[in-house]
Amino acid sequence: MSSSPKHKKDKGNGQKPCSLAPEAQRSCCARRHLSKNSKKDKTMQTRDFVCPAFTAIMFSASLLMTSCSDDSNETRAKDMEKPRIEDGQVPNPIDCQVYARGQAIPLRYTFTDNLELGNFNIEIHNNFDHHSHSTSAAECTLDPKKSPINPWVFNQSHKIPEGAKTFEAKLDITIPKDIDPGDYHFMIRVTDKAGWQQLKAVSIKIKDASRSFEPQDDY
């Protein structure tokens, strides 16, 4: 007995073969081939559009990063001097000053730079362990060493106006009323536009407000 041939699934593209007369079958397969090529062409067109655009974006970003890096390096190459912290007319605070809890510490210093200033930072930390900083010029009488319980920790940065070569720092910092009294370091850091930094460490003492004291004589 003869049986009609069974069409096998086309393993090449996963599509069923055209079950038509030979001429019609050739036409059907040709249409599939054209459709497949059309999809490839669209994919290639999309790739041709996306790839140059992506390349252009990456190239622009690379130029921008290089330009910023070059500008920073050029600025640093031109500026080889650190900024300066100058006393001015009435510098404050100065070494060995005494303050009371709840009182304000007035910051009064002049910052200068040969090209352009950037920012300054004020940090205050305890000196209950009697450590020192190389910028401290005076030797002050210290309280006995002790472990901190509720020490004052202060850290605040301030931006200096663009293009300034000289800046008068005027800032009042209030001492919390509940901190541990004792010896503290008042740190002033000035950074210029090129990244150079100058540091000044001042030794101060903070006492209980209930105790009477003379700010200049008791420390």
Verify that 124 and 165 share a domain, yes or no.
yes
Give me the pLDDT at residue 81, please. 96
What is the average pLDDT across 193-203?
A: 96
The DSSP secondary structure of 66-125, one letter per residue, reads HHHHHHHHHHHHH-----EEE--SS-BS-TTEEEETT-EEEEEEEEE-SS-EEEEEEEEE
pLDDT of 186 reads: 97
The per-residue pLDDT for 59 is 65
Q: Are residue 150 and residue 48 in the same domain, yes or no?
A: no
Question: Over the chain, what is the mean pLDDT?
Answer: 79
Window from 51-55, 106-110, 163-167 with minimum mean pLDDT: 51-55
Percent pLDDT > 70 in the chain is 59
> Domain total for the chain?
2
Are residues 95 and 73 part of one domain? no
The domain that holds 162 is classified in CATH as 2.60.40.2550
pTM beyond 0.85: the answer is no
Residue 175 has pLDDT above 90, yes or no: yes
Give the range of the structural domain holding residue 152, as residue numbers without chain letter.
Answer: 84-207
pLDDT, residue 78, reads 85
Distance CA 67, CA 90 (A): 43
| Residue 216: pLDDT band with limits 50, 70, 90 | very low
